[in-house]
Every structure is written in structure tokens, then in C-alpha cells.
A and B are shown apart, each in its own frame.
Chain A
Amino acid sequence: MSEKKTKRRDFLFTATTAVGAVGAAAVVWPMIDQMNPDASVKALASTEVDVSALTPGNTLTVLWRGKPVFIRRRTQEEIDEARAVKMEDLIHPEKDEDRAKNPEWLVMLGVCTHLGCVPLNDKGDYNGWFCPCHGSHYDTSGRIRKGPAPWNMEVPKYEFVNANTIKIG
């Protein structure tokens, strides 16, 4: 009895446990995955926005996937200010040219990357946005400059359908 020998029973134990574990995982996964975004939420993928009324120096806020999107028609000073910033001064280095393909139009999620509040327009130390919740300052390109937020405000996928309409998503 004392010698270690693999027996039929050991094999049965291992096989039963393995099959049981796979079965349990197969039942648990649907219970977990049901909490992920459902088909109807995913279907609301894109929004078209008419921006013809927007004059330079103003921001339009629209709702996309339950989140606010800032569409800012920037003034020349704002563009110059954003483009003059050196990369080494940035917490999350991104060129303004990459964030705003058409320099006059800045489109980004109006969601602070710290804990998800909506930053306030034309506020803060960098003339861009300021988050009232925990004090993050963003510049005129929506890049984080000061405060607890780790990243710049996210630029979603968008395109100009025509001169007056932006399609987000």
C-alpha cells in the first residue's frame, strides 16, 4: 500500500475533476458575460451631428454612447497655442496635428480620464478644460497638463460626411 503507484482510481479522480471544472466554467462564463454591453447597446454605434451653427471659439456637446462628445471650433490663437507646446512638457505626449486633423475642429470625448467627470469649457490654467471633480487641467488640444488624470481626453473615430456634418463612431 505504501508504494506510490498510479491506479485506476487516481485516473478517475483527475478526469472527473477536470471535466467538472470545465463544466463549471462553461456555466459561470454566461453568468459573467451577461453583464457586458448587450447587442442593443452595441448597436448605437454612431451619431451624425450638424455643426453648421458653430462659430469659432465655441463648443458643441453631443451625447454618443451615453457619453458627452465635445466638438470645438477653435480660434487661431487656440490652434497656435496648442501647436507651440513642446512634447517634453506633456504628461501624455501627443501632437496636436494628430489629435485635430483639421486644425479648426477638435472632436473628443468630454470625459476626464481620471474618474469620468465632464470637464468645464474655457477653464483651467491652460485655457482649455478644467475638471471640477479632482482638479485636472487640459490645454486647448484637450491634453492633460496638470492634475491626477493620466491621459489626454480621448479622440473618438469620426469623419466629416460633408462640410456641415460630423459622423462620430
Chain B
Amino acid sequence: MSDHDYRPKSKVGQWFNDRLPLLTLANHLTDYPTPKNLNYWWTFGGILTFCLITQIVTGLTLAMHYIAHADMAFESVEHIMRDVNYGWLIRYIHANGASMFFLAVYIHIFRSLFYGSYKAPREIIWIIGIIIYLLMMAAAFMGYVLPWGQMSFWGATVITNLFSAIPLVGEGIVTWLWGGYSVDNPTLTRFFTLHYLIPFLILGLVVLHIWALHVPGNNNPVGIDVKKPSKDTVPFHPYIVIKDGFALLMFMIVFAFFVFYAPNILGHADNYIEANPMVTPAHIVPEWYLLPFYAILRSVPDKLLGVVAMLSAILILAVLPWLDTSKIRSAVFRPLYKQFYWILVADVLILGYVGAMPAEGLYLLIARVATAYYFLHFLVILPVLGFKEKTLPVPLSITEPVLGGSPNLAVARNKESKIE
């Protein structure tokens, strides 16, 4: 993995490292050369790692008190909230932690979209990321079912029924998922099992995600390759560690605000009513982070096509590296793409808003236009833009714009060594 030969200083370290080269790995991670122009949008990888670990730790502790049974789940969650020492804190961190996780992942994804981080040679990093995102959605959905409130129950009913849209085998698949003829105890116990499993799958994929990242190295705001050898990079430790740490601190302030001052603002009051298979809540809405896709589902008047559109909206991201035909990575040098990028951001926010509103009248019309535009962006605008767009001149190296220097790389390098 490492470009250079590393040898631990101590005798014990050498003895250990010859048998299991963990210290070589640690050395690679600390020395890992990182572009020196990374901005704060690059700190969300570290923040996401923090989110994953927070969810695993709080999830494990909640599982010590939670009872996965249709008759007892709702009560056991109330028991956690009222009786268990600091149960309220752990549960609020876990529930709001899911929202914070998605907030961070959306920023992380849109950062990739802006700076073209999904392009060659980083396609595999991107695709692993999309798989992680899909697993996150599955974990969040199943976790939301566990408190066995009204939204849990009806959310589970609606989402599992999506599979009934599959011709011929759909109904059989839904019965198989439920383990019965409706969402009931067998459904709850298997969702609990899978909710417990998925975070560890994500953890494994995160290792692959970082491994794949460390092969070509980070993309950067300028979107050009690091010149080797050059002064384009700084070692991960201490430079990036300190910067990531500071960003994480800021992020934790936002996190703590939700946990301590508005712990239920992102949830639904209906979920404090125990699940009742006889009554559907008047207005079923998924959690905020799934709303754009929910809007796409509802904007199509046909059941099967609605489900197909919703899944395509996510899966289309996996082939993005081949839909974007532009050779330039960063939107900084793509004046037209930059505008379309912000239109896409607005489009997704609008989809999220109409996803929370009733599917009728003007809301439905807006949802349809926004859905059409979403696909237009990926299937038409991006492929065409790569050929039509007149891009701005890209600097010769990362160091050049940092020093505000000349377009001549040699001069820039000289200047830099003088500063040192």
C-alpha cells in the first residue's frame, strides 16, 4: 500500500511489523499525501465516519434494552426513554444521528457532483459510495420500524408494498418479506436482525471506499491530478487531521442542538402512537432524507412505473461517471455545468418539499416537472454538455493557483521553494 519502505524504530515494533504489518498501514495512513488545496467540503468523509461509529455505539447500547416483539417493542422504547439511565440521551442521539448521517452524506455526494470526484480514475470509489448510500437508506427505514409506532407500521406497509408492483411474483415476495399476510411480529423481528447487520456491512464497505480512495488519492477543488514529485500535497497527519477535527467539532454543535433542544423536530408525532393495523394516519410521510424519492414515486400515476422511476433515480447515480462526458472534473472550470449543478440542487430541494406535501393539485404538477428535470439532467444535459461546453483554462498544477503565480510550472515551483 505504501509508496515507501517503512521500518518501525523500536525492536518490538519491528518484531511485530514483520509478522503483521499493521504499523506500515498506520504509517501509510498518517503520511498519506493529500492535496494541499482541499476545502471544508472535503471534511465530510471524516464526519461520516464519526456518524457511523456513533450509530453503531448508540445502537448497540439501545439493543441492550429494546425488545423486538410486536406486543412489547413500543413499550420497551418508552421504557428506554423513561426508566433506563440516560436512555433518553442515547435514543435521541441515535434517532437524530440518522438525520445527521444523511445530512452529511448529502453534502458529501453533492461535493462529488460539484468537483467531479466520480470521474476517472475514481469510479469505483463512487460506486461503492452509492452502495453505502443504498444500505444507509435500508438501515434507516428498518430502524424507523423498530419503535412500532403508527408511522413505523404504515411506513413499513407502504415501502414493502412497493415490491408488489413487480409483475407475477410481486405478491409472493411481499408475503415472504412480511412472513405473514400483513406487517406483523415476524416482520419486526427480521427488520431488527437486518437493522443490526447492515451497519457492519457499511463499515466493511467504508474500508473498501477508503482503500479505493488511497489508490489514486483525493480529488481536489481544482480537479487536476497531483504532480509527482511536487509540493502539491501535505501529509494527512497533522494537516488534514486537524482540519477534519475542527469541522467535526462544528458539526457536533449542530448535532447537539438537535439532540438537546429539538430532539423530535425531525420526527413525526404519529410515531408516539402505538401501531394500529386498523387505522392509517391521515398523512403518511417518510423521514425528510427520503422525501425527494418519495415525491418521484408519487409523481408517476402508474404503480409499477412509479416504483421503477424511484429506483432509477437512485441507480442512475451509479452510472454517472459514464453519463458525464466532460474531461474536466471541477465545476470551477465549467461555467455551464456550474449553473446546471445549482439548478439540480434546487430541483432536489423542490422534490423534497413537494414530497412532504399532499400529492394533489399544484404540488403534484410541480413534482412531475421536477421529476422530469431530474432525469433530464442526468440523461440529456450531462452527456451533451461534455461535447458542447466551452471550458475555462485549467491551471498547470495545484500549487499554481495557491501561489497566484505564473502559468509556468517551473517558475511556480521555484517560488515555492523560496518561501520554504
User: Is A57 at the interface (CB under 8 A from chain B)?
Assistant: no
* Complex partner residue of B298 from A37, A68, A118, A134, CB under 8 angstroms: A134
Least Cβ distance of A58 to chain B in Å? Answer: 16
Evaluate contact between B186 and A118: CB separation under 8 angstroms. no
Digitize A48-77: 1 where CB-to-B-CB distance is under 8 Å, 0 elsewhere.
Answer: 000000000000010101111000000000
Least Cβ distance of B171 to chain A in Å? Answer: 10
Complex CA–CA separation, A138 to B20 (angstroms): 68
Digitize A114-134: 1 where CB-to-B-CB distance is under 8 Å, 0 elsewhere.
Answer: 111110000000000001111
User: Is A36 at the interface (CB under 8 A from chain B)?
Assistant: yes
Least Cβ distance of B124 to chain A in Å? Answer: 29
User: Is A163 at the interface (CB under 8 A from chain B)?
Assistant: no
Least Cβ distance of B274 to chain A in Å? Answer: 15
Contacts of B182 on A, CB cut-off 8 Å?
Answer: 65-67
Which of the 9-residue segments B137-145, B172-180, B203-211, B223-231 touches chain A?
B172-180
Contacts of A68 on B, CB cut-off 8 Å?
Answer: 277-278
Least Cβ distance of A64 to chain B in Å? Answer: 9
Evaluate contact between A37 and B162: CB separation under 8 angstroms. no
User: Is A135 at the interface (CB under 8 A from chain B)?
Assistant: yes
Evaluate contact between B190 and A41: CB separation under 8 angstroms. no
* Complex partner residue of A66 from B164, B181, B190, B306, CB under 8 angstroms: B181
The total of Cβ contacts below 8 Å across the A-B interface reads 87
* Complex partner residue of B284 from A38, A61, A65, A132, CB under 8 angstroms: A132
Evaluate contact between B284 and A117: CB separation under 8 angstroms. yes
Contacts of B306 on A, CB cut-off 8 Å?
Answer: 148
Evaluate contact between A116 and B158: CB separation under 8 angstroms. yes
User: Is B360 at the interface (CB under 8 A from chain A)?
Assistant: yes
Complex CA–CA separation, A79 to B179 (angstroms): 37
Contacts of B302 on A, CB cut-off 8 Å?
Answer: 148, 150
Evaluate contact between A67 and B284: CB separation under 8 angstroms. no
Known contacts A115-B158, A148-B301, A132 near B180 by CB under 8 Å = no
Complex CA–CA separation, A32 to B175 (angstroms): 12
Complex CA–CA separation, A138 to B176 (angstroms): 28
Complex CA–CA separation, A150 to B281 (angstroms): 22
Evaluate contact between B161 and A37: CB separation under 8 angstroms. no
User: Is A27 at the interface (CB under 8 A from chain B)?
Assistant: no
Evaluate contact between A117 and B280: CB separation under 8 angstroms. yes
Known contacts A38-B186, A65-B182, A117-B157, A148 near B303 by CB under 8 Å = yes
Least Cβ distance of B337 to chain A in Å? Answer: 35
Chain B residue, CB-CB nearest to A37: B180
Complex CA–CA separation, A131 to B176 (angstroms): 25
Evaluate contact between A41 and B181: CB separation under 8 angstroms. yes
User: Is B400 at the interface (CB under 8 A from chain A)?
Assistant: no
**A window 28-55: CB within 8 A of B:** 32, 35-38, 41
Least Cβ distance of A59 to chain B in Å? Answer: 12
Contacts of B347 on A, CB cut-off 8 Å?
Answer: none
* Complex partner residue of A37 from B154, B179, B277, CB under 8 angstroms: B179
User: Is A149 at the interface (CB under 8 A from chain B)?
Assistant: yes
Contacts of A66 on B, CB cut-off 8 Å?
Answer: 180-184, 277
Evaluate contact between A63 and B158: CB separation under 8 angstroms. no
* Complex partner residue of A118 from B161, B179, B278, CB under 8 angstroms: B278
Digitize A95-128: 1 where CB-to-B-CB distance is under 8 Å, 0 elsewhere.
Answer: 0000000000000000000111110000000000
User: Is B283 at the interface (CB under 8 A from chain A)?
Assistant: yes
**B window 329-348: CB within 8 A of A:** none
Evaluate contact between B180 and A41: CB separation under 8 angstroms. yes
Among B164, B304, B360, residue most surrounded by chain A Cβ atoms (within 10 Å): B164
Complex CA–CA separation, A65 to B162 (angstroms): 20
Known contacts A36-B179, A117-B157, A63 near B184 by CB under 8 Å = no
**B window 30-81: CB within 8 A of A:** none
Evaluate contact between B181 and A63: CB separation under 8 angstroms. no
Evaluate contact between B303 and A150: CB separation under 8 angstroms. yes
Chain A residue, CB-CB nearest to B174: A116
Known contacts A66-B184, A115-B157, A37 near B175 by CB under 8 Å = yes
Complex CA–CA separation, A115 to B182 (angstroms): 12
Complex CA–CA separation, A38 to B178 (angstroms): 11
Contacts of A147 on B, CB cut-off 8 Å?
Answer: 301
* Complex partner residue of B181 from A67, A114, A150, CB under 8 angstroms: A67
Contacts of A38 on B, CB cut-off 8 Å?
Answer: 179, 186
Complex CA–CA separation, A38 to B302 (angstroms): 33
Evaluate contact between A67 and B277: CB separation under 8 angstroms. yes
Evaluate contact between A61 and B278: CB separation under 8 angstroms. yes
Please list 26 pairs of residues, one from A and one from B, whose beta carbons are closer than 8 Å in the complex, sorted by A's number. A35-B186, A37-B178, A63-B278, A65-B182, A66-B183, A66-B277, A68-B277, A68-B278, A114-B161, A115-B159, A115-B164, A115-B303, A116-B160, A117-B158, A117-B284, A118-B280, A131-B280, A132-B283, A132-B284, A133-B158, A135-B359, A148-B301, A148-B302, A149-B303, A150-B302, A150-B303
Interchain residue pairs A-B with the least CB separation, the first 4: A66-B182, A65-B181, A115-B161, A116-B161
By a beta-carbon cutoff of 8 Å, the part of chain A in contact with chain B is: 32, 35-38, 41, 61, 63, 65-68, 114-118, 131-135, 147-150
